[in-house]
Amino acid sequence: MEVGDFVRNVRVHIRGVLVGSIISGLLAIGVTFILPQSFTTSSTLRVVPPEGQLNPDLLTTAVDWYVALGDVPSVLQAAATGTSPSMSPTEVRDDVQLKAGGGPGEVVIEVRTANEEQALDLNNVMAEVLVKLVAADPTLQLGQTQLAQLVPAESASPSGSGRATLFVTGFLVGFVLLATGAGLLHRYINWRLSPRVLRSLGHEQGIRSYGDEPAFVVFLATMARTAGQCWVAAGPSVTASDWNLLAQKVNELGEQLTMHGESAHAAASASPGDVFQPTPNDGSPRAVAAAGVVGLPCVVMVPRKIRISRVRGLLQQLRDADVSVMALGMVPQSRKAAT
């Protein structure tokens, strides 16, 4: 498949792709109401070097050292017993994350829990435990450095992306998936016919297609000036009143059409403005055979909502009967066919 065909297929179904993408974005927002909400707090500790020994390399190494203390059992136990209500060391390990901060010598403590107050309490307790344990135990001090609280945890915020971000993400994911599906699978799905799908079918078959009634009428009038023609229905739901309405509109443009039933001598006797129709004109094999007998250029009239496979099948039968199809035209919207 060429890129141009892929893009054309996506354009045919762009409305459905956009609607599906919007629904995908709304579903992404809806997930936030189903999943349990969690809250995140953040605080910052600062590595305090020995007086007169401000060494950037020491600060960087010390940050890594104190971040690793977050997994030390004694630290986890002290933080677990210091919270209210108390927690297990395993819960503390799951809820607390220590990492290097943005500034030199900064250690950031992030806590995520399902309870807002618990997130604040656990964050401040962890900060206090680290500062006190390091101050009390020289073996935990790297290069005689200390820890001090720089920014305490003062508020908790809901975790995850905002709803606007979730909607945009869901919309984009849905758009990519639906557009890819429409582009690749268009020719393999038995769509119901619409003006957009009809234009796509016309391009696929190399035949002019008209989903717009005025343009179709102009084409029929132009064709009537030069030669006779055969009108073939793609299905039984195209009625005589549809043909008469089209003929009337062509007549209003100054081109008089003369409607005929099928004739074995149509091709030889046809004059400009003559329109022959097979009997029955219902897209059946008998109608195709009759159109072959007429031997005139053919215009296929398709009702809305007909399955595209039926129209493809009819076009193939007309080709097999050596009938030249000049155009595909759609029944006006006021007449919706049931298929």
CATH class of 39-158: alpha beta
Residue 250, φ and ψ in degrees, nearest 5: -65, -40
Distance between CA atoms of residues 19 and 16, nearest Å: 5
Rounded mean pLDDT, 205-222: 87
pLDDT score of 126? 92
Topology of 192-330 in CATH? Answer: Rossmann fold (3.40.50)
pLDDT over 90 (residue 140): no
Rounded mean pLDDT, 122-126: 91
Other CB atoms within a 10 A radius of the CB of residue 91 amount to 16
Could you report the per-residue pLDDT of 157-198, keeping only the tens digit for each? Answer: 776 656 788 889 999 999 999 999 888 888 777 888 888 888
Which residues pair with residue 106 across a beta bridge? Answer: 46
Name the residue with higher pLDDT: 97 or 34: 97
Name the residue with higher pLDDT: 252 or 339: 252
Q: Residue 237's pLDDT band (boundaries 50, 70, 90)?
A: confident
pLDDT score of 174? 93
Q: Is the pTM of this model over 0.95?
A: no
Name the residue with higher pLDDT: 130 or 33: 130
> DSSP code of 36?
P
* Closest C-alpha among 2, 17, 25 to residue 180: 17
pLDDT over 60 (residue 48): yes
pLDDT score of 255? 83
User: What is the sign, positive or negative, of the torsion defined by CA atoms of 330, 332, 336, 338?
Assistant: negative
pLDDT score of 59? 87
For 56, counting Cβ atoms within 10 Å of its Cβ (0-12 exposed, 13-18 middle, 19+ buried), the class is: exposed
> Would you list the domain boundaries of the chain?
3-35+161-185, 39-158, 192-330
pLDDT over 80 (residue 327): yes
Q: Identical fold at 39-158 and 192-330?
A: no
pLDDT score of 337? 41
List of residues 6+ apart from 190 with CB closer than 8 A:
307, 308, 309
pLDDT over 70 (residue 284): yes
pLDDT score of 335? 45
Residue-averaged pLDDT of the chain: 84
> DSSP code of 296?
S
* Closest C-alpha among 87, 70, 84, 41 to residue 147: 70
Distance between CA atoms of residues 160 and 40, nearest Å: 9
For 295, counting Cβ atoms within 10 Å of its Cβ (0-12 exposed, 13-18 middle, 19+ buried), the class is: buried
- What is the CB-side half-sphere exposure of residue 271 using CA atoms within 13 A? 5
